Amino acid sequence: MPSLRALVRPLLTAVQRRRREREMAAELQLHLDLLTESHREKGLAPEEARAAALREFGHVEGIKERARDGWSWGWLEDALRDFRTSARSLRRTPAFVLAVVLTLALGIGANTALFSILHAVLFRPLAVTDEARLVVLREFQRQDAQAGYGVSYLNYRDWSTQARSYTGLALVSVTTVSVAGQGDATQAPAAVVSPSLFDVLGVTPALGRVFRPEDDRAGGAEGRRAVLLSHSTWQSRFGGSAAVLGQTLLIDELPHAIIGVTPAGLFPVEAEPVHYWVTTAAYGDPGVSGTANASRGYRCYLAALGRLKDGVSLETARAELGSLHAGLVAAHPSLGKDLAAEVTPLRELLIADLRPRLWLVFGMVATVLIIACVNVANLLLARATTRQRELAVRAALGAGAWALVRQSLIESLVLAGAGSAFGLLLAAWFLSALQALQPASIPVLTALGLNAPVLLFAVVTAGLTGLLCGVAPAFVAHRSAPSDVLKSGGRAGTESGWPDRVRAALVTGQVALALVLLLSAGLLARSLNALQRVRPGFDTGEILTAQLSFSGHRYATDDFDPSKINGFLSRAEERLRALPGVTAVSHAQCVPLTPEENNTRFTVVENPSPPGQSVSAQLRFVGAGYFDLLRIPLRKGRALAETDLPSTPAVAVVNEAFVRSFLTDRNPIGLHLKLGWGGSGAKEIVGVVADVRHRSLSDTPRPEVYVPQSQFANAGVTLLLRVQGSAAGLAPVLRGVLSEIDPELPVTAIKTLEAYRETALAPHRFSAFLFGCFAGLALLLTVIGLFGVITYHVSRRTQEIGIRMALGATPRDVLTLITGQGMRLVGLGIGLGLVGSFGATRLLRSHLYGVSPTDPLTFVAIALLLASVACVACLLPTRKALRVDPNVTLRCD
Amino acid sequence: MSKEKADLLQGTLDLLILKSLRLEPMHGFGISVRIRQLSDEMLTVEQGSLYPALYRLEEQGWIKAEWGVSENNRKAKFYALTPTGRKQLQVEEEQWNRLCTAINLLLSHG
């Protein structure tokens, strides 16, 4: 067993070297002196004795030199010597070094950058205690995927009193609140949570205190309700001052006391999704009918968060919730028997959407790295083959096989080290570029950086890369039989043995991998193109939108009377219509291509669904003129109009998808709908409009019900203005008009509809861009590799080419011969790549829109592209060889 | 009168050094003197061979060096046998004897 000492000793001896030199000098001097003395004792004069001693002793420096051979400096000195030898021999070939280092830098840099993303998204721990025991409890409809996940307050309350698997449960939801009382009135994202949340998460406040159970009621503990600031809001809006404690904020126009500040980086505050924290009291008193909290069927919370007790497994918790929930559904038939509940580990939920995409990307850059490694291995192999003579001489002079292999490996490790150093620079640059380009859907990207695990990854990758690249050439070094190599004069005449076969195999594999990447990029580009051409069903032309929030009490009424909100809207729209350039004005609860969802259960009065089964559709509150403004065609009946008022009969318009899904065999006009919310009375269907892609461009249109905002006062409203000229340019005017009518009304997100479309396209653009970059890189590396191998091949066959031409071969014959050999490899690689792609591109399926994973056009086009680029890479070096005079090639060595 | 000198057989230097250290630790000069004396002036060790051999033996762990004071009151490096060195001496002595016996047999039958 190698002891620690054995490992440390070489280091110590290196340190001790100077001491040993000194000691040796002293020892030899003593010997010389004693020798002199012995001669004097024999009766010689001092000078003669000294001269005799020196004669007898011999050459002191020669002795020292030989004595040093007795010292062993261990592997460290061997390695240092090899390192110096490598550096010397590499310095002689700067072009080779540059090619290798750049290739590795690209490969390692890309991998490091991507690992940094993976690390940030998948592995970085949350700022909570023992995250692994945190689970998420949610309800969902078994038969109705689009109904979404959530938890109703009353069901949560029953779970938390009956469940035994958790040390605690807490409710979480995210909403938008208006904030006033300190500085400008704004709208801000806020979390609505039960006071137990902070216990469940196991976090302590950065300042003040967290919620107590008594905060969770309308009055709050101090006569005002309680609000917590998120850490970054505290810093940016309140200057990080401790004096904020006890100050009053108007949250949705109600006085709230600031009681504390949450710790920095707390979930769910990744990239700060919420600025304020309020208690579940914000959703009303569960004891008062009509509030969100009082509805057992209204899943107004995102989820319940639980901490599993020690020793309780996920399976136990799942079984328990399953039986609890079955009991609830049995006790409350109105919930419908399709309602189920599930338990999911928190981490799994957080990364569920991103994981496949990130692993895909990682697979892609790993492929690029492999291609880069293959290039470097090929270059090193070529170098090793031309250096066979040098290696053979060294072997003949007594260098052991291991010494030669070690030399070769150290050389590739030196190159990999240099490559990874440049790679880190590239990664740092790439990450900052990526952050500039990132889609908003990946908030964690803000936390990117080259931290310790990332650096470790780069070092390990560099080491592995060095070994991987060095193995083949080291093998050549190992296999060199000195006598054979020296006899052959250090150059093989024609095709020679396995290094060439290895090289051919490597190039073939490289072409295959590059093809897979290129195909993926091609498919994603086609998919992006298809998405950009998607007709969403509405016109995104010059339309400006502005989000308003009427959630405060100045606009609220006890009986959902819409008159105050409608009053504001009609005044605003009247003024806006009068603005020059504005051709139409309307409003809606949310505009298409925003992530907001608004699902409701419904029944068709004339055609009720069987009891216990519930159907749902998307509910949209819109103003008169909405369909005209967005150019959504009316298919049947009439659109919603100015004449639909609270006093007139309740009406609704449905889309074609709704008719297709629920009313295939009936004329929808004149039927009546009862909705889960948005007014309790039955609404008469007065029209059918064409489908729009509301949620996303790639989404198939879903059943939708439009009801007039004028008949139900929804507090969140988005104004829409169709503008002649530049819509974006009108934004300041719009803001001015709105603040003249009500300076305290929070107005956010003044954006053009086109901007929303761009946002919706961004993730797809991002994927296509990323894959395009890396596939381009892979193509470049492959072409360079191919070019290098053919160049090398040709240079070794210069003599053969000379002979052929001397014997009458035309340049065309030679060109065909050499290029043909290269293209055979390429053809084989493309064949393998195509076969592999049939499997690999299937992984892309969920990322593609409007194009099949085995789209023949893409496959053929990309294969042709690769083949023609490869053909050029084969032709260039061959042509160079042809320009050489056969006389010269035949005479060279 | 000069005695005939015997050539040192390759590999025997180690044996001679170990043998000369059997009784007491000695410095390099002492070892060379001891070898000359014990061999009745027939064997001399070149300094150029002695010191590399000493360092090699030290590296192998058969002898160890310590600084002491020489007879002329100078700082000197004294070499001593280690326990493994002592065993190695035995091994080398046996090997040598077997070799000698074999060579003698060969010569006597010639």
Cβ–Cβ contact A26 with B under 8 A: yes
Q: Assign 3-class secondary structure to A623-641.
A: CCCHHHHCCCCEEEECCCC
What are the pLDDT digits (tens) for A407-428?
A: 778 888 888 888 888 888 888 8
Residue A889: the pLDDT is 64
- Predicted confidence (pLDDT) at residue A270 exceeds the cutoff of 50: no
Parent domain of A22: 4-72
Say if residue A476 is in the same domain as residue A579. Answer: no
Out of B29, B55, B74, the one facing A67 most closely (by C-beta) is B55
For residue A145, pLDDT beyond 90 = no
Whether chain B has a CB inside 8 Å of the CB on A70: the answer is yes
- In which band, very low, low, confident or very high, does the pLDDT at A654 lie, cut at 50, 70 and 90? very high
pLDDT higher than 50, residue A483: yes
**Choice among A232-241, A309-318, A602-611 with the minimum mean pLDDT:** A602-611
Picking from B32, B59, B76, the nearest residue to A30 by CB comes out as B76
CB contact under 8 A, B51 and A70: yes
Amino acid at A283: Y
User: Do B77 and A27 count as a contact with CB atoms less than 8 A apart?
Assistant: yes
Give the pLDDT score at A260.
92
Chain A: give the shortest CA distance to residue B100, in Å: 28
- Look at residue A115 and tell me if it is in a domain: yes
User: What pLDDT, on the 0 to 100 scale, is given for residue B10?
Assistant: 58
More confident residue, B98 or A350: B98
Q: Give the number of domains in chain A.
A: 5
Q: What is the mean pLDDT of residues A141-166?
A: 83
Q: Give chain B's mean pLDDT.
A: 82
Residue A399, min C-alpha distance to chain B (Å): 20
DSSP B35-47: HHHHTTTS----H
- State pLDDT tens for residues A802-834: 888 888 888 888 888 888 888 888 999 999 999
Verify that A19 and A120 share a domain, yes or no.
Answer: no
Domain locations in chain B as residue ranges: 12-109
Confidence of residue A258 (pLDDT cuts 50, 70, 90): very high
For residue B48, give the nearest of A23, A58, A72 by CB distance. Answer: A58
pLDDT of residue A383 exceeding 80: no
Same domain, A51 and A177: no
Highest mean pLDDT among A83-87, A359-363, A600-604: A600-604
- State ipTM: 0.84
What's the rounded mean pLDDT across residues A242-264? 86
The pLDDT confidence band at residue A271, using thresholds 50, 70 and 90, is: very low
**Residues A273-290 pLDDT 10s:** 678 899 888 887 777 777
B59·A72 Cβ contact <8 A = yes
Q: Which of A724, A745, A775 is the last residue of a domain?
A: A724
Query: Which residues on B lie below 8 Å from A17 (Cβ)?
Result: none
pLDDT tens per residue, range A548-558: 877 666 776 55
Whether residue A444 sits in one domain with residue A394: yes
Q: Which of A23, A62, A69 sits opposite B77 (nearest CB)?
A: A23
Is the pLDDT score of B110 beyond 70? no
Among A2-6, A392-396, A820-824, name the one with the lowest average pLDDT: A2-6
Q: Does A777 have pLDDT greater than 50?
A: yes
Residues A179 and A318 both lie in one domain: yes
Q: What per-residue confidence (pLDDT) applies to A687?
A: 92
Banded pLDDT at B104 (limits 50, 70, 90): confident
pLDDT at A182 over 60: yes
pLDDT at A349 (0 to 100): 77
Mean pLDDT of A40-50: 86
Q: Which chain A residue has the Cα nearest residue B44?
A: A56
- State the DSSP H helix or E strand holding residue A888, giving kind and residue range, or none if neither: helix A886-891
* Beta strand extents in A505-552 (DSSP E only): 543-549
Same domain, residue pair A442 and A469: yes
Q: Contact, A79 vs A418, CB < 8 A?
A: no
pLDDT greater than 80 at residue A772: yes
- The kind and range of the H/E element at B80 are strand B75-81
- Is the pLDDT assigned to residue A490 strictly greater than 70? no
CATH number of the domain at B12-109, please?
1.10.10.10
Could you read off the pLDDT of B15-33 as tens digits, one per residue? 888 888 888 888 888 898 8
Tell me the residue ranges of DSSP E strands in A123-237.
Answer: 134-141, 166-180, 186-193, 207-208, 225-229
- pLDDT at position B2 is 40
Q: Same domain for A632 and A664?
A: yes
Residue identified by tokens 């994927």 is A767
Say if residue A203 is in the same domain as residue A323: yes
| A69 chain-B contacts, CB cut-off 8 A | 52
Task: State how far the Cα of A15 lies from the Cα of A194, in Å rounded to an integer.
Answer: 64
What is the pLDDT at residue B3?
42
Q: What is the pLDDT of residues A311-325, one digit of tens each?
A: 889 899 999 988 988
A135 in a structural domain? no
- Answer whether residue A81 shows pLDDT above 90: no
Question: Do residues A602 and A704 share a domain?
Answer: yes
**For A20, which residue in chain B has the nearest alpha carbon?**
B55
CA–CA gap between residue A576 and residue A588 (Å, rounded): 16
Question: CA–CA separation, A513 vs A829, rounded Å?
Answer: 8
Q: Is the pLDDT of residue A212 over 90?
A: no
- Which of A493-497, A567-571, A779-783, B39-43 has the weakest average pLDDT? A493-497
Q: Kindly state whether residues A209 and A234 are assigned to the same domain.
A: yes
Q: Is the pLDDT of residue A689 over 90?
A: yes
- The larger pLDDT score, comparing residue A352 to residue A316, is at A316
The pLDDT, as a whole number, for residue A269 is 34
In whole angstroms, give the CA distance from residue A294 to residue A219.
18
Beta carbons within 10 angstroms of residue B72's beta carbon:
10
**In this structure, are A240 and A358 located in the same domain?**
no
Closest of A438, A375, A380 to residue A414, by C-alpha? A380
Which of A31, A59, A72, A73 to substitute to test the interface with B, most B CBs within 10 Å?
Answer: A31
Give pLDDT tens digits for A88-115.
877 777 777 888 888 888 888 888 887 8
Chain-centre distance for alpha carbon A146: 26
Q: At what angle do helices A94-118 and A401-437 cross, to 10 degrees?
A: 50
Q: Return mean pLDDT, chain A.
A: 80
Residue B87: count other Cβ atoms within 10 Å of its Cβ.
Answer: 12
Lowest average pLDDT, out of A300-304, A386-390, A874-878, goes to: A386-390
Is A152 in a helix, a strand, or coil?
A: coil
Phi-psi region at A639: left, alpha or beta (left = phi > 0; alpha = psi -120 to 50): beta
By Cβ distance, the residue of A31, A38, A66 closest to B28 is A31
Q: For residue A218, is pLDDT > 70? A: no
Query: A177 or A525: which carries more pLDDT confidence?
Result: A525
Separation in Å, CA of B66 to nearest CA in chain A: 11
Q: Are A31 and B28 in contact (CB under 8 A)?
A: yes
Instruction: Calculate ∠ Cα A645-A650-A655, nearest 5°.
Output: 110
Task: Give the pTM.
Answer: 0.63
Selecting from A33, A35, A70 the residue whose C-beta is nearest the C-beta of B52 gives A70
Tell whether A124 is within 8 A of chain B (Cβ).
no
